[in-house]
Structure 1
Amino acid sequence: MKYAIFAAGLAAAGLMLAAGQGLAQTPAGESAAGQTWIHAGALLDRPGEAPRGASTLVVAGGRVAQVLDGHVEPPQGAARIDLSRQFVLPGLMDAHVHIFSDDDKTAARLEAMNRDAEDRFVVGLDNARRTLSAGFTTIRDLGSDPAAITALRDGIEKGLIEGPTIINAGRMISISGGHGDGANGLAQDYAALERGRAINTCDGPEACRRAVRLQVSQGAMVIKFAATGGVLSNVAGGLGRQMFDDEMQAIVETAHAFGRKATAHAHGKDGIMAALRAGVDSVEHATFTDPETLALFRRTGAYLVPTMIAPEAAVQQARAGQRPPAVLAKAEEAARIAFAEHVNQFAASGVKIAFGTDTGVSAHGQNATEFKMMVDGGMSPARAIRTATLDAADLLGLAETHGSLAPGKIADIIAVAASPLEDVTELERVTFVMRRGVVHKLDGQRQAFPPN
């Protein structure tokens, strides 16, 4: 039975309940003006638990004010949004994005020397808009120019730019010649220029402490470092460990001293284990895991962010000549791992998982395709959705304000036509997006921004 029919029944029941209750009343001394009352056909207010039936969400001042049973008619002066035939849930969160990465990899590579910072910023503006329209109301950007990502983040927060809430890392910290060294593969003159201005490369613990402090000084809200080689760096260094224990420990300790969480890019098992021993809060990719690795995740309590879309996308791009030659062998090595098998291990092992895609490798706005890969790997749709809501909020330090829909929480709300608990690919077709009480998408159509 189609969910729309089911939702219609819920809507009818909600209207009957509302008729019995009469019109909702606004507390004395408070105006209904500026309030938005959302009628939901079904409401997943707390992911991981059973959804509610017909419900009403009252939004005021960018936050959820009330969650009511049934479809309660709003008081005079309040706005009403009819989602009575739709499934409503919290805005999604992607813990691994590169918002300034161009989807056109060929153009980005060939035009790199002709693009100014302003050109790249325009790409980021469009990516941010598309990401929000796809239902991702919060992202963690794990590798962008510090000045650009800070400006984009702050412009969104001020309501000047349309996009998701951004938790940003600035540049990924890397050893010289490692994954994250922007001089890799450049001609000598350009490599010298890049190394002369880089603030993210370090060799030895003291230099790595300084690199963390410099990223913080440039606005980094989280610190990311390359514990191992990576697929997309233009150097044939493999995917194994690149940093020593004392370097990783120096990075993590300094990040924590500044009140920042630390996350490690890590593919090879040796790098994953070393990063976990150093005390990281999360590990990105964690490609080559095994029971020993997963046991250490459980002991430390660190989150694993799988990013399953990325290796597949990287292989296709490298084979098409859209990536440097050094990338292909590494991409194929990472893609050989049976991710379905790994997700099944993650889901059954008690490891904490947060949703992340490495979007920027794959196309922006298609973040939700990761959900199907998680479910195909043995994770339930309910668990997969939780990784992108409550669990991601916990990792990002936003658990008190994001990840569920309850009074006092930020009004980041999305809707889809049918239950994603039955078909998780519904999340690839988001019909409604509200961020901090502002509607950005309604009936599948982008809304004017700033709102009139």
Structure 2
Amino acid sequence: MKRMLGVVAAMALTGAGAVQAETVVYCGQLVQVEPLKMLERQTIRLEGNRILAVESGYQAPALDDDIVDLKSATCMPGLMDMHVHLAHQFSAHVYLEDFKLNAVDYGIRATINAEKTLMAGFTQVRELADQSHGSSIAVRNAINKGLVPGPRVIASGRSIATTGGHADGTNGRKRELMFDLGPVGGVINGPYEARHAVRQRYKNGADMIKITATGGVLSAAKSGQNPQFMADELEGVIATARDYGMPVAAHAHGTEGMYRAVVAGVDSIEHGTYMDEKIMKLMKKQGTYMVPTLLAGKWVEDKAQTKGFFPEMVRTKAATIGPLMMDTFNRAYEYGVPIAFGTDTGVSAHGDNGKEFALMVQGGMKPLEAVRSATWHGAKLTRTDDELGKLAAGYLADIVAVQEDPRDDITTLERVAFVMKDGVVYKNEVVSD
């Protein structure tokens, strides 16, 4: 057995990121996501950062073609995580960080975590809720310019909440520090402030909008379920976001707030803990995606058992909501709700994103469908399915590979061995036969 450690092209960080004019990638297996099936012995031909063709069998290369030998591996499109927080990493001390860290600290952390995410096989992410002074937008721009390695980042900027809501950053403070953050700071009351908040995020360079439609688990506020937006406020957010071509994601655990958000027309429900059949029916009809974040649910459930890790108000919510998320996922999947892969990483550790796959399979989803949720469905949700999400002629060359067959061992997706993004190889640890 020979371990392949060579890199086809230098990373963009070095200024030498372009691959040769043509590259031939041999895949022992290839996950075709649309329609969904596993193909054997496939050749992917690349020119620059685009796929020229996907062909059956191991086709002979031209004399000057570069060859990437993944005959011992299973290839698939670059993975996508629809819910990450690059600048954050939850710990027992996280509630003090706003008083200790500066914007540059968050930016450095986001840069480090972006590279970890890419090395885990995730070539595109939605950064939902950057509460740290625009660090995700800055890191997105740096990645796009080739200054640092990382996935494609679709950034929401700061979440939009209502006063005392899940993303009101002054929750839990003493009265003198309970500032009214206003629309610029992500706290709105009424439809006019809702419109202001969306337009401010557009001005700041955000790609999309995130709202906190209900209470949450980790905020220092009593309820994890109550609805936190009125119908006119939701309409103000969504109608304005549509004017600017910005999708809207809604954090939601509780039933009523979730229902209001789906009726109003959000693109995705994040978490969805208390989702009922009425909501599932509406989501299926409208094509509203569920982003389940099972890894975050499992993580907070486990940490709730550690005395003193969470404030008591948070610990109670974590112990209650965490265990429910798996059951909801199973029911939504069986009902036919569209599901896109998402982890809420930044709660759990960056680079561990792939652990979500095993939880999805545990929750009843077939392994290849879990892969499709993190590829084709991620592309559909982010409106990038004309260029990303599958391996096909004309698509961007985002390719990852694992050593085992995910149908036999879904945990292989926690050990991604090969990562190519935009035609550049960032990781190659495939063991050849």
Normalised to the residue count of structure 1, the TM-score between the two structures is 0.87
Q: Which stretch shifts more, 174-183 or 325-334? A: 325-334
Structure-1 residue corresponding to 2:99: 113
Structure-2 residue corresponding to 1:440: 426
Q: 1:344 Cα deviation (Å)?
A: 2.4
How many percent of aligned residue pairs carry the same amino acid?
A: 39
Q: Is the contact between residue 234 and residue 327 of structure 1 (CA under 8 Å) also seen in structure 2?
A: yes
Q: 1:234 Cα deviation (Å)?
A: 1.1
Instruction: Return the match for 1:81 from 31, 45, 68.
Output: 68
Q: 1:412 Cα deviation (Å)?
A: 0.6
Residues 250-280 of structure 1, C-alpha deviation per residue, up to 9 Å, x if partnerless? Answer: 1111111111111111100101111011111
Q: 1:373 Cα deviation (Å)?
A: 1.1
Instruction: Return the match for 2:319 from 321, 326, 332.
Output: 332
Secondary structure (helix, strand or coil) at the match of 1:77 reads: coil
Instruction: Return the match for 2:189 from 182, 193, 203.
Output: 203
Q: Which stretch shifts more, 311-320 or 244-253? A: 311-320
Q: Is the contact between residue 182 and residue 188 of structure 2 (CA under 8 Å) also seen in structure 1?
A: no
2:52 maps to a residue whose letter is A
Q: Which stretch shifts more, 255-264 or 325-334? A: 325-334
Structure-2 residue corresponding to 1:143: 129
Q: Counterparts of 2:155 and 2:220 in 1: how far apart (Å)? A: 24
Q: Which structure features the higher share of helix residues?
A: 1
Secondary structure (helix, strand or coil) at the match of 2:185 reads: coil
Q: Can you give the 5+ residue segments of structure 2 that lack an aligned partner in the other structure?
A: 2-18
Secondary structure (helix, strand or coil) at the match of 2:278 reads: helix
Structure-2 residue corresponding to 1:168: 155
Q: 1:315 Cα deviation (Å)?
A: 3.3
Select the structure of larger CA radius of gyration.
1
Q: Counterparts of 2:26 and 2:46 in 1: how far apart (Å)? A: 11
Q: Counterparts of 2:156 and 2:327 in 1: how far apart (Å)? A: 30
RMSD: 2.0
**Higher relative contact order (Cα pairs below 8 Å, separated by 6+ residues):** 2
Residues 185-241 of structure 1, C-alpha deviation per residue, up to 9 Å, x if partnerless? Answer: 12334333x737953110011111111111111111111111100111111133221
Secondary structure (helix, strand or coil) at the match of 2:301 reads: helix
1:322 corresponds to 2:312: no
Normalised to the residue count of structure 2, the TM-score between the two structures is 0.91
Aligned length: 412
Q: Which stretch shifts more, 296-305 or 143-152? A: 143-152
Residues 396-449 of structure 1, C-alpha deviation per residue, up to 9 Å, x if partnerless? Answer: 11110111001110111000111112321111111000000110110169xxxx
Residues 360-384 of structure 1, C-alpha deviation per residue, up to 9 Å, x if partnerless? Answer: 1111111111111111111111211
Q: Counterparts of 1:114 and 1:346 in 2: how far apart (Å)? A: 41
Q: Describe how 1:284-295 pairs up with structure 2 within 5 A.
A: 284-295=270-281
Structure-2 residue corresponding to 1:342: 328
1:419 corresponds to 2:409: no
Q: 1:111 to 1:352 in 2, by over 3 A?
A: closer
Instruction: Return the match for 1:159 from 128, 146, 150.
Output: 146
Q: Counterparts of 1:118 and 1:208 in 2: how far apart (Å)? A: 28
1:66 corresponds to 2:53: yes
Instruction: Return the match for 1:362 from 348, 360, 365.
Output: 348
Instruction: Return the match for 1:131 from 117, 131, 136.
Output: 117
Q: 1:190 to 1:198 in 2, by over 3 A?
A: farther
Structure-1 residue corresponding to 2:202: 216
Q: Is the contact between residue 146 and residue 220 of structure 1 (CA under 8 Å) also seen in structure 2?
A: no
Q: Is the contact between residue 20 and residue 48 of structure 2 (CA under 8 Å) also seen in structure 1?
A: no
Secondary structure (helix, strand or coil) at the match of 2:26 reads: strand
Structure-1 residue corresponding to 2:8: none
Q: Is the contact between residue 134 and residue 428 of structure 1 (CA under 8 Å) also seen in structure 2?
A: yes
